[in-house]
Amino acid sequence: MAAPVLGIDLGTTNSVVAVSDAGNTRVLTEPESGSALIPSVVSFHPSGDVLVGHGARDRRLVDAANTVYSIKRLIGRPFRSEEVRRARERFPFELREGPTGGALVVARGESYTLPEISAFVLREVRSVAERALGQAAVRAVITVPANFNELQRSATKAAGRVAGLEVMRILNEPTAAALAYGYGSGQTGRVAIYDLGGGTFDITLLEMQGDVFEVTATAGDTFLGGDDIDLLVAERMADVFLRDNRYDPRGDRQAYERLRAAAEWAKCELSAQPEVELTVEELAYGEDGAALNLNFTMTRREIEAMLTPLVGRTFDVCEDAMRLARLRPAEFDRVILVGGSTRIPLVRRMVQEYFKSEPCCDIDPDTVVAMGAAIHARALAGDVPQPSAPSSQVQVPDNAIGKVALRKVSAERVSLPAGLPPPIAEASNRTAGGPPPAADVVLGSSIVVGAADIDVDVNMNEMLPPAPPPPGGTGGFDAAIMMQQPQAPYPSAMALPQTRADRPAPLLLDVTPQSLVVETVSGYCDPVIRRNAAIPVEQTRVFSTGLDGQESVLIRIAQGESRRYDECQALGQLELHGLRPAPRGAVKIAVTFEIDADGTLQVRAEDPETGQRQGARIALVGGISDEEIAMMAQRQGQHFAESR
């Protein structure tokens, strides 16, 4: 029997794993608890054990400084980013800058990269799957928010490798959800995927034509989700405690962590009933040593008043996507809810009001992404027939796994630096208020980017079939040491169409969420691959040396939509090395920037004159080398062996 390929939703709050086989697509549950949701929490125990999942989540209440959660919000972000700065103020565990500019978690005197923390979760997810299936599973498709940039996608891939997984594809979460809903249904029309999870928000707009899924636009906020709701409620609780006891629990990180846990419980409870009362015992102690308890009451009306501005931010993101697609909300045939935070009644009402139609939530929003990932995973494993071309403009090469479309893209001509001095853009590329004009070749250390029409291969990804998920428990969460996690009523999971042996794999056409840019002059930058381009996509730029005997070139690259380089997310430096010594301008190097089906950046370089491959290396901010991945995998394996 062929080894299974897993579909993994690596979530901010919980992670889920699913598998698709010849019979159906199903979510895998923990054999012991029957829970489909695996908390994305890692706790470093005083004994030296590393707890992951439910046991780790419980330790948030007693050992917050050594219990790490919600790390997905920070993975791939530079330590000096605004998001990490905000997280350092909120999280009880320590974050420190790493040697390559990334963030490290410090627990019990040991430092861990964020991919390594995520790898602990992935290894536990893999263990759950293997116990449920009764066999080894090392291949997987892992999902990420659609708006993740190159750093975040690369860090997620690294996490999979540290966990001992062969990551076959990084797949956007909303696209995975669309597969779970649409594959085999034969439906056509415009679909909007509204995905509000524990830490991130995405909106993806796509066209469905049978088993062809074409994304037309995507937008998102990778720091907006259920965690922010919990913080709002926890702040209200802290204010009440301060008023009643003249003691501010925000000054005690462990006490405040208990408030955050109680706030999460209250949020979930208020999705099912109009009012909640709770008591957090011994939150602090008075001057006489007497225990101080928090007695707290909140109504659904009160929490909705607090949440309305936050939920309103999601529709600003929706408007951004609508602008890209040149559509309006009422023009969509179907709106699909994804992510645990969409269980909140206010969210559903506001989505319905915005799109002018009742949103669809037939499949559990917590598990639908993993199910879609499993569908895609089976397609990548080659277990189903390949799809036929949806139109005459799609051509199929002999060795294709999926479809390939060809189109022309015009390159622009700019001048770039050979070293650290800033590059310069030509006057023909200027807009009002843009960078100043420059000569073709900059004196000193410079290179020239040539321009010509080039062919761009756009590979259409593929995927695969699903079927009915089993009922998965949501798991309990003792938020305040005195209550059980409420189970909000929710419609049973929709039975997905059975997989037929002759059904072809679905065809997926996705887009890149952010533009890839290179630094030019005076702090400005120039786009190489623009936002919302169909992926895979590639663009070639021709560089030439600006100094006699020059053997290497450094180019700063970033992702973002601003014309200012420092307002985009810096990815790192692209180094071209091993150039043949020659007079200035004699050596030309064609550098191809490719955003692959995962949405991650690949670079290759060639000397057009000799046809020889040239060295091209990207030094990513916070990047991890193969040697470091191997060392982390070994350390993690030892941790798990000792814990078992």
State the SS3 of 92-118.
CCEEEECCCCEEEEEECCEEEEHHHHH
Domain identity same for 498 and 479: yes
For the cut 90, the answer to whether the pLDDT of residue 338 exceeds it is: yes
Q: If DSSP codes are grouped into helix, strand and coil, which group holds residue 87?
A: helix
Q: Given 489, 509, 529, which residue is the final one in a domain?
A: 509
Structural domain includes residue 639: no
Separation between Cα atoms, residue 224 and residue 310, nearest integer Å = 8
pLDDT at 552: 86
Structural domain includes residue 343: no
Domain identity same for 214 and 159: yes
What is the pTM (predicted TM-score) of this model?
0.82
Nearest to 248 by CA among 236, 239, 260, 257: 239
pLDDT at 221: 94
Side chain identity at residue 116, one-letter code: E
H or E, element range at 591: strand 588-595
Q: Which residues contact 242 (CB under 8 A, 6 or more apart)?
A: 248, 249
For the cut 80, the answer to whether the pLDDT of residue 440 exceeds it is: no
H or E, element range at 602: strand 601-606
Ramachandran quadrant class, 174 (left: phi over 0; alpha: psi -120 to 50; beta: rest): alpha
Domain identity same for 284 and 207: no
H or E, element range at 131: helix 114-133
Q: Which residues contact 50 (CB under 8 A, 6 or more apart)?
A: 42, 43, 44, 120, 639, 640, 643
pLDDT at 594: 92
Structural domain includes residue 230: yes
Cβ–Cβ under 8 Å, residues 5 and 140: yes
> Domain containing 142 — which CATH number?
3.30.420.40
pLDDT at 260: 95
For the cut 60, the answer to whether the pLDDT of residue 417 exceeds it is: no
pLDDT at 424: 28
pLDDT at 200: 94
Which domain range does residue 580 map to?
404-459+512-624
Q: Given 279, 304, 329, which residue is the final one in a domain?
A: 304
Cβ–Cβ under 8 Å, residues 332 and 457: no
pLDDT, average across residues 161-186: 91
Domain identity same for 591 and 574: yes
Domain identity same for 134 and 251: no
For the cut 90, the answer to whether the pLDDT of residue 367 exceeds it is: yes
**What is the percent of the chain where pLDDT is above 70?**
80
**What is the percent of the chain where pLDDT is above 90?**
60
pLDDT at 506: 79
Q: Given 304, 331, 349, which residue is the final one in a domain?
A: 304
Structural domain includes residue 341: no
Cβ–Cβ under 8 Å, residues 459 and 242: no
Structural domain includes residue 80: yes
Q: Rounded to a whole number, what is the largest CA-CA distance in the chain?
A: 84
**Which of 105-109, 158-162, 387-391, 426-430 has the lowest average pLDDT?**
426-430
Domain identity same for 147 and 275: no
Token pair recorded at residue 418: 């050979």
Domain identity same for 538 and 450: yes
Cβ–Cβ under 8 Å, residues 438 and 427: yes
- For the CA atoms of the chain, what is the radius of gyration? 25
Instruction: Give alpha helix (H) positions in 410-544.
Output: none
Structural domain includes residue 497: yes
Domain identity same for 418 and 547: yes
Q: If DSSP codes are grouped into helix, strand and coil, which group holds residue 600?
A: coil
Domain identity same for 490 and 563: no
For the cut 50, the answer to whether the pLDDT of residue 392 exceeds it is: no
For the cut 80, the answer to whether the pLDDT of residue 384 exceeds it is: no
pLDDT at 466: 35
Cβ–Cβ under 8 Å, residues 551 and 581: yes
Domain identity same for 494 and 546: no
Domain identity same for 293 and 412: no
pLDDT, average across residues 221-241: 96
Domain identity same for 281 and 297: yes
pLDDT at 462: 29
The number of domains in the chain is 3
Q: Where are the beta strands (DSSP E) in 545-580?
A: 552-559, 569-577
pLDDT tens across 26-68, in order? 999 988 888 999 999 999 999 989 999 999 999 999 999 999 9
For the cut 80, the answer to whether the pLDDT of residue 490 exceeds it is: no
Token pair recorded at residue 639: 């941790």
